[in-house]
Amino acid sequence: MAIKSFTRSTIENNIFYRSMLAGNTAFSPPDESILAEEVLTGTQASVTFSSLGTLAAGYQHLQLRMVTRDNRGISGTNNIRLQVNSDSGSNYADHGLYGNGSSVLSYANTSQSQFNALSINPSNSDTADAFGAGVVDFLDCFETTKYTTIRSLNGVTVAAGSTIRLSSSVWMNTNALDTLLIYPSSASFVSGSRFTLIGLK
Amino acid sequence: MTAAWVSLATTTLSSSAASVTFGSISGSYRDLAVAISGSITNYDYILLRYNSDTGSNYPYVDFIGDGSGTYSNSATLTGARVGRMSTTAGVISNLVAQIMDYSATDKHKTTLARGSSPDEMTIGVASRWANTSAITSVTALTLSGESFESGTTLSLYGSNRL
């Protein structure tokens, strides 16, 4: 938070202010803001965003955008997992609806130790330069009176398996989100994979 | 703090148009989004064509619900499928398509879209432009040559990078 003005400083008017912010307009973050971003320059097993309470101060929701690919030695799609606040207990549930080019199917998982399918990506054995993408919304994720609900739209199109998926998930814990650990269900993310965290009012 | 979405261009058609192009797109953003709200001359799917590439370079997969069943299709088109629009008088269709990492030159461009032709279906789509070039223009058009009708609004947004 930058000090924008000293027009009401002690120096100018000989009034003693206890706050260096005296005379400045109140800081109000924009309705949406890029909070953090990581673009991988090499292979990496996971990506972590931490201190979310500080990083996202003033925001009600978070959005995570991912563009990913992994280094498995076999072709086919791979789910992206996410664990919050280092909680590895059986406190996560997922539901999803997805299309694979021939039919629409659904799934449900309960008592999971992480969110299992918030995005999806191909591997280095699939079409060169093809990545998967996901947009994940974390709703009311700093409220301590409710579980955190997540929704995601994600997809990938490669010859070995194309998928478009809408998922909803819940972390059955009322703690405010503090850390996000993002990782593929197997292998590691490759260079060029990108993760952007956005605050939403 | 860096604001996320920035409005880059918007147009509301005063007469019908077969296509609308947003050109000279700066590469300074991380993602793009296209929002379309309005109607077309007959029910049809909506495509986004990048950098005027008319080749069959856009594989997609979708899922659709229309009240009587669910459907999923996949094929390769001459533009990224991003939704479907209605022609019924007074019915406004909407879609939002996010074009991820549109200016990156180390990857194909994935577009995630969801929309509704509200008297017909709701649809979600993932498309990939099989090209590593940065996207500098986006043309919205229909699959079968229909036109966007007068009053339809098309908007382009950029999402900043940190």
* Res A12: pLDDT: 56
Q: For residue A30, what pLDDT is reported?
A: 75
Question: Residue holding tokens 């299309």?
Answer: A99
The two tokens of residue B155 are 């908007």
pLDDT of chain A, 201 residues: tens digit per residue:
444 444 455 555 566 655 556 666 666 767 889 999 999 999 999 999 999 999 999 999 999 999 999 999 999 999 999 999 999 999 999 999 999 999 999 999 999 999 999 999 999 999 999 999 999 999 999 999 999 999 999 999 999 999 999 999 999 999 999 999 999 999 999 999 999 999 999
Residue B114 β-bridge partners:
B96, B124
Predicted structure pTM score: 0.91
Residues in chain B: 162
Residue A164 has its nearest CB partner, among B1, B4, B125, at B125
Hey, of A61, A102, A162, which one would you mutate to test binding to chain B, going by the most B CBs within 10 A of its CB?
A162
Sign of the alpha-carbon dihedral angle for A15, A16, A20, A23: negative
How many contacts does A have with B, using Cβ atoms within 8 A? 142
Instruction: Return the C-alpha torsion angle A192, A93, A137, A65, nearest 10.
Output: 0
Query: Shortest CB distance from B63 goes to which of A32, A69, A98?
Result: A98
The answer to whether the CB atoms of B161 and A29 lie below 8 A apart is: no
Task: State how far the Cα of B110 lies from the Cα of A131, in Å rounded to an integer.
Answer: 7
Q: Using an 8 Å CB-CB cutoff, list chain B residues near A156.
A: 110, 126, 128
User: ipTM of the predicted structure?
Assistant: 0.95
Angstrom distances, CA of residue B108 to CA of A67, A73, B74:
10, 20, 17
Mutate to test the interface with A, among B7, B28, B62, B63 (most CBs of A within 10 A): B63
Element (H, E) at A13: helix A10-13
Q: Touching check for A151 and chain B: CB below 8 Å?
A: no
A40 touches B at CB < 8 Å: no
CB A34 within 8 A of CB A59: no
Which two three-digit tokens encode residue A175? 């703690």
- Helix (H, G, I), strand (E, B), or coil: what is residue B56? coil
Q: Report CB contact under 8 Å: B110, A102.
A: no
Give residue-wise pLDDT tens across range B47-83.
999 999 999 999 999 999 999 999 999 999 999 999 9
Angle of CA points A28, A32, A36, to nearest 5°: 100
Q: What is the DSSP letter of A189?
A: B
Domain boundaries, chain B: 16-160
CATH number for A33-200: choose from 3.30.1360, 2.40.50, 2.60.120, 3.55.50: 2.60.120
Strand-pairing partners, residue A84, are A180
Q: Look at residues A124, A111, A117, A115 and name the one whose alpha carbon lies nearest to residue A154.
A: A117
- Answer for the pair B78, B132: CB distance below 8 angstroms, yes or no: no
Q: Which of B59, B63, B162 lies at the smallest CB-CB distance from A104? A: B63
Cα distance from A104 to chain B (closest Cα, Å)? 6
DSSP one-letter string for B91-149: PPEEEEEEETTTT-SSSPEEEEEEEEETTTEEEEEEEEE---SPP--EEEEETTS--BP
**CA neighbours within 13 Å on the CB side: how many for B149?**
17
How much of chain B exceeds pLDDT 70, in percent?
100
Burial label, A87 (beta-carbon count in 10 A; 0-12, 13-18, 19+): middle
- Looking at domain B16-160, its CATH class is mainly beta
Structure tokens at B101: 């990492």
Chain B partners within 8 Å of A197 (Cβ): none
C-alpha span between B53 and B128 (Å, rounded):
13
Half-sphere exposure of A38 (CA within 13 A, CB side): 18
What per-residue string of b and e applies to B61-90 under the rule 16 or more CB within 10 Å gives b?
bbbbbeeeebbbbbeebebbbbbbbbbeee
Sign of CA dihedral A4, A10, A14, A17: positive
User: Which residues from B are below 8 Å from A192, CB to CB?
Assistant: 104, 106-107
**Strand A61-68, strand A194-200: pairing:** antiparallel
Q: Which of A129, A137, A195 to mutate to test the interface with B (most CBs of B within 10 A)?
A: A129
CB contact under 8 A, A101 and B1: no
